[in-house]
Structure 1
Amino acid sequence: MSGAAHGRLATMTAPSPAAGRTDSTDGRDGHDGTGVRDRHDGLDLLPPPRPAYDAHTRKEIAYLLLNLPVAVFGFAYAFTVLVAGGILSLTVIGLPLLALCLLGARQLGKLERARARKLLGVRVEEPTPLPLSRGGGPVQRLWLALKDPVGWRTLLYDAIRLPWGVVTFCTVLTSLFVLWPVLPYLARFLANADRAMVRGLLSPSDELERRIAELESDRGIVVDTAAADLRRIERDLHDGAQARLVNLAMGLGLAKEKLLEDPDTAASMVAEAHGEVKLALQELRDLARGIHPAVLTDRGLDAALSSVASRCTVPVTVTVDLPARPAPAIEGIAYFTVSELLQNISKHSRARTASVDVWRADDRLLVQVRDDGRGGARLDAGSGMRGLADRLGAVDGLFVVDSPDGGPTVVTAELPWRDRQE
């Protein structure tokens, strides 16, 4: 499997509680790059000895002096968003405008984290982006943005910063002329309070919040996909088998009327109707195969993928190495993923050969489809790749496309392994 696909399985190692010290943010033995011990609460009243006005102290003073103009802008933004959003929420543009402003608040938080990182040495991880591009309707994306905890915490941060900005600006400015000898210690105390606020309000949402947002987005994708599938089935029935059966009924009715007066014509019409019945049955079989093929239910992925590979216009080698059959839902997603990819190979790849490999690795089911075609496949190229990625993402799967121009194309799908309940 490609390195991109394995990246999602990486885990972050947490420090042992027994270590007796907190993490370093820049690798300097528990210090945050300012000479301050990076304690959990972000406060340290008595810093270790260091030159009174070294580079770190000057950066802290600069940060504190910038607090006022930054806080004024942030407060004005937060106040405008809350007031305007509250008033306009009664109109059709209110909620979309509020959602847009919350996305803007995320960007303000990003700038504040960058300022704290540059001047205070505070390294706070960037929050996970909202999954707005993973599908779902506009209403769902709007609701997801309105519930964004990162945006709301940033607005809270901006709202409470104005009085603090006034205090720090005036204190430091006055101390520059009055309390020069103790200013480094005073700046350290005030800067540590800023560090605590940045960590407390501008740090990423916890994993649970991110996971809830992803699951809500995935639920919308599943609902939309199911609705689209139902519309496709209805359209195929209406335009295909249903239309043929209507024509068949009319033809048999005419044949019945001519049965006594013109038996030869009636026999010809019955023969034609017999051909229509065969076509209608074939269309119904194709439709049933598109919903869930019987061979997949009866014989599993190996037989089902071999069957779909036999209909591909490119010679396909299928290798399935599974110790057991996965859950029907996972099996079905794997089947339809391969089916869609083989259709793309037939229509777009200009390949000479292709291969399908399916295997299990730990608690994941992996599917890899290769072809030696012209390459250039993209998730946003309109070939159905985006829909496949969304469908796999809805079940905590992964979809990776490696398709340089000129080929070859390697598509890797990763699904969670769930045991089949017999």
Structure 2
Amino acid sequence: MRADILAWSVPVLFCAFALCFLLLSRLHASLRWWSAGFFVASLGFALTVLPTAPGSVAKPTLEDTLFLIALAVANAAFAARAGRRPRWAWLALVVGAGSAGAAVSLAFLGGSVLHEVFSVQTACAALMLLSAVEMRHDPGTLRPLLVGLCGTITVSLGLQNVLLLYASPEDLGVSNWRESPWGFVFQLNGAATGILLALSVILTTAFDVIARLREESTADALTGALNRRGLEQGVEAMRRRMLPDRRLTLVLSDLDHFKQINDRYGHEAGDAVLCGYAALCSGLAGADGLVARIGGEEFAIVVAGGDRASALELAETVRTSARQIRWPAPLTDLTVTASSGVVAINPQETLFDAINRADRLLYSAKADGRDKVVIDIREAVPEPALKRRRPAGPALAG
């Protein structure tokens, strides 16, 4: 059985993967690294198809080095995916050690292919182990898949080394090794590993694109806050986690005189104000709260609980904190104020009915001079008692 039974199909396939990742690289920077890695691997597999002269050291060592470089570049791709810088010093050390071990085995150990393969596969296992370490920081939903794949490849390479040392019948020359069943199995395993990595990258990229599209459909592109759709979904999720009779607090805020900010400082400065205010609201809403930009300069904060005291405290904190923001140039002399309407979202009430109620209170605050909070939250009482009470008018705070 010939070890090169796949002939040129493997290098051509790997070159196709490289081209595919290059075309998709606009989706994620890590795909450029994958493209480079598969191109280098295709060169390595192409060299294995070409004849090797008896006693040759340079060609087999070059092949081994190309495969090691390909895995090092794959490690850089994993690091880029996780938002980290590649550990080039460690990668260079492993590649150098593996290549040197292969060259020494072929040149000074009687052309020992077993020692050559052992050195290279040990280096490959080390590179995959480093990749598994990098993937621990990956933010994607398929991180366990990638970590598991890297770990599985590492273990597989280790087991192959054990079989190589204890089950291989003889130490063959390079040409004889590649035509032996052992050479065929090892080469086939290398090709299968590359194909599995390529398919995993394609799968994770597809999941990343889906997650990004889902996020873009629920997030405001400028501020990163939720949009109306995202707010509605978030409120429904909060309600599912709460007891049926619990209420939510809605703080609806609108920046005062925002058009004047745009006219005086420019739209870029106005965008910076919107982003800064959204960040302020997100910090005050906490990890469990929701912040959405639902209009040009209108923001909504939704938090669990519907008691008057905590709702008023949150709204007043947002109002006073906005005044205290120190803006960078050219906004150093700017003081941003906002008017707010605050209501409790009742269990049977839709979010947008609550927004309409809060909007009326917000414009009451605007009419009363701006930079104010108007709140209309009554303490929760049994439903029959609520029906007997006369509606209370909005209370003015601030």
TM-score (structure 2 length as normaliser): 0.32
What TM-score do you get using the length of structure 1 for normalisation?
0.31
Q: Which has the higher contact order (CA 8 A, sep 6+)?
A: 1
